[in-house]
Each structure stands twice: as C-alpha cells, then as structure tokens.
Amino acid sequence: MLRVLEDRLPAVDAIVPLASPRSAGARLSWRGREWEVSVPGPGSFEGCDVALFSAGSGLSREWAPRAAGEGAVVVDNSSAWRMDPGVPLVVPEVNAGRASERPMGIIANPNCSTIQVVVPLEAIRRAAGLVRVVLSTYQSVSGAGQKGIAAYQAERDGGTSASSPFPGPIFGNVIPRIGPMGESGWTEEEEKMRNESRKILGMPGLEVAATCVRVPVEIGHAVTVAVETERPLEVEAAAAAIAAMPGVRLFDNSLDPLPLQTADTDEVYVGRLRRDPDRPNVLHMWIVADNLRKGAATNAVQIADVVLRG
C-alpha cells in the first residue's frame, strides 16, 4: 500500500504508520523520510483524511469505527465490512460514486478476484445487460498471505512448511477449494465472489456461480468467465466495450495475458474473448491481474484518491 500510495498519489505527503505492539518503534522509509511506527490508541486518527486498513477482520471491526469517529475515512481491506448495508463496496472503475455514500465513514475494498472480474463485467453490463456469470478462478499462493508464499517456496525447494495455510501440498499441485466450506458445498471464497459481485454491480439478483482454485503461482490471479447477457452481443462490440473501460488492457486472440505479466502492474488484463458456440447470448473470457496490487493495495489507494478528490 505504501509503495502504491507513493506511486499514485503525489499530493499525499504525510503518513501515520500504525501496527501491533511488536512493531512499535520500528522505522520505515517513505518519500525520502523516516517514519516511526506507533500502536493505535485514542487520538491516533485525529487529523488523518484517510485511514488505510489491512489488519484482518477482527481488528478492522474494532478500530474502523474508532478511526471514523475521529474524522478519518476508513478504506478497509478485510472482509469485515464488505456486506454491511451501511458500507459501500467500491471498485472505482465500476462504482466510484458509491464512495461518497458512507454513513459509517467506512468504505470496503472487495475480495481480490472479485475486483478484477467486475471491471470487464461492468463493461459487458453496460453494453448488453447481465443474466448469469459462471467463474473459475486460478488464484496464486500470495492470496493466502506470506505464509502461502513461504509454503510454496519451501515445497519448491524440497522442504515442507509447518505453517502452510493450504489443506495439501501446493507445489506441483492444484487445490480446488479456498477457505472453509459451508453446508451447501460452496466455499467462503466462492460465496464472497457471488455476493460481492452482486453488490458492486448493483444487481442483487444476478446469477453468479464460482469455483475458486489455488494454483502454484506466486503472484497473479486468473479467472475464466462465462457471461450470459440479456441481449446478443457480437465479439467485436464486446471487445470495444471492454477496451473502453479504464484500467483494462484487452489482448486480441493472438496473445494470451499471463499471470507473470501482471506482477507489479495495476491493470486488469483480458483475453481469450469469444462467443459461445451454442448459446448466442454467452461470451467467454480470461481475466488476469496482480492480486497484491489491483486486487488489494492499488484498489484501496484508488478509493483513497476518490475520497481525497471529494
């Protein structure tokens, strides 16, 4: 977040780094200065315009209302507030206007895979409406945090990791579930994609079904999407609509966007756009993005930018 903030918001010239007690007193370098890390407490957020939270759901539920109460607009990266009816769930390319509708002073940053999917979906929705979306994700190990990366690297190097977040080996393997599974057979990650996509697109009745898979890639999530539209949409028209969306890079069918290409970039890459051979109202596409940047930090900073611009 700090690196993206430095890259994208030059007008921001002061930060207040807050963390747990074990990090208190540590110093970090940002914009040519040293900044000391403090522990949050009463008054920590006074005078702050925006508070970027990335500390997990429990701490977000505890501290986001306090920060908002002290005058900061909270942009929260956890799942704590995403489905709260009083908290907007924002992807700026899709629904930036919702950022101003924040009765609790909190804005939620969506799930990483949801973010990259809803941008081209919004383009299709504007062009031909949406009826049903079927998704299959191929999510990198960094989506499970540093422990996920460490487990992958340990296995790659011939070892094991006692703190692996995965239910089985990940190196040279594919795991067809992410997060706990509910009684319905759908995982928490799959439910997030369904519910969050509906909220961001403003379509509570949209039919969405997702299968979320963990793959042995360090950075970059990929998603295959089959989207049924209200009206038939030619591939050329769909391509034009997607290419016109801010933050999207459309690849023609002679090239495939790959997770490796997306590392350290902020765009959503779309390729393999094609019409279903049997259903004229169905389009298929392949969507890739850096899950740490556009899927998390960059989207949060983009929301902060919307807030600061008023």
Please list the active-site residues: 112, 221
Q: How far apart are CA 228 and CA 204, in angstroms?
A: 16
The encoded tokens of residue 14 equal: 């002061």
CA distance between the termini of the chain: 21
Half-sphere exposure of 286 (CA within 13 A, CB side): 14
Helix (H) or strand (E) holding 306: helix 298-309
Q: Which long-range contacts (CB under 8 A, 24 or more apart) does 102-106 make?
A: 102/73, 104/65, 104/68, 105/65, 105/67, 105/68, 105/69, 105/72, 105/73, 105/74, 106/64, 106/65, 106/68, 106/73, 106/74, 106/76, 106/81
* DSSP code, position 206: -
Q: The tokens 């509708």 sit on which residue?
A: 101
- Rounded CA-CA distance 277/279 in Å is 6
Q: Strand, helix or coil at 228?
A: strand
The answer to whether residues 121 and 133 touch, using CB atoms and an 8 Å cutoff, is yes
**Distance (Å, rounded) from C-alpha 144 to C-alpha 161?**
14
Nearest in space to 268 (alpha carbons), one of 120, 129, 62: 120
List, in sequence order, every beta strand (DSSP E) within the chain.
27-30, 33-36, 50-53, 73-76, 106-108, 132-139, 207-214, 221-228, 248-250, 268-275, 282-289
CA distance 58 to 72: 19
